Chain A
Amino acid sequence: MTELAATQHAFAAELLATTRPAGGMGVYHDNHRANVRQALELAYPALRRLVGAQYFAQLVAQYRVGTPSRSGDLHHAGAGFAPFVHAHFSTPDAAARYACLGDVAALEWAWQEVFVAEDAPTLEPNALASIAESSWPALRFRLHPACRLVGSRYPIHALWIANRDAAGDAAVDLDAGAEYVFLTRPQHEILVRRITSAAFEFLRALQARTTLAEATERACAVDSTFDLLATLVDTFRAGAITQCATELAPLGSAAQNT
Chain B
Amino acid sequence: MSGSRPAGWNCDAPRATGIGLRGAHHRDWLEGRGRAGWLEAHAENYFAAGGALPAILDRLRCDRPLALHGVGLSLGGIDPLAPSHLTAWRRLVDRHDPCVISEHLCWGANSGVHFNDLLPLPYTEESLRHVAERITQFQDAVGRRVLIENVSSYVRFAESTLTEWEFLAELVTLTDCGLLLDVNNVYVNAINHHFEACDFLNALPSAAIGEIHLAGHARTTVEGATLCIDTHDREICADVWALYAHAVRRHGRKPTLIEWDAALPSLATLEAEAARADAIAYGIERATHD
Contacts and interface: CB of A to CB of B under 8 A. Distances in A.
A28 B119 contact: yes
12 contacts: A2-B126, A4-B121, A4-B126, A5-B78, A8-B107, A24-B192, A31-B117, A73-B88, A74-B72, A120-B50, A145-B50, A146-B51
Interface residues of B, number: 46
Interface stretch (A46-54, A88-96, A111-119, A237-245): A111-119
B124 A118 contact: no
Given A72-B108, A72-B114, A24 B119 contact: no
A41 to B, nearest CB: 13
Interface string A14-48: 01100000111111100110011001000000000
A77 interface: yes
Given A2-B126, A31-B117, A70 B112 contact: yes
A76 B113 CA distance: 12
Contacts of B72: 71-74
Nearest to B229: A27
Give the residue among B48, B51, B157 with the most A Cβ atoms within 10 A.
Answer: B51
B238 interface: no
A32 B108 CA distance: 10
B53 A116 contact: yes
A145 B51 CA distance: 11
Contact of A115 (B51, B116, B121): B51
B51 A69 contact: no
B1 interface: no
B248 interface: no
A161 to B, nearest CB: 21
B113 A28 contact: no
A3 interface: yes
Contacts of A26: 222
B110 A24 contact: no
A73 B85 contact: yes
A69 B112 CA distance: 8
A117 B50 contact: yes
A7 interface: yes
Given A4-B126, A68-B114, A73-B85, A116 B48 contact: yes
A116 B227 CA distance: 39
B192 A8 contact: no
A192 B239 CA distance: 50
Contacts of A12: 110-111, 113, 115
A9 interface: yes
A3 B126 contact: yes
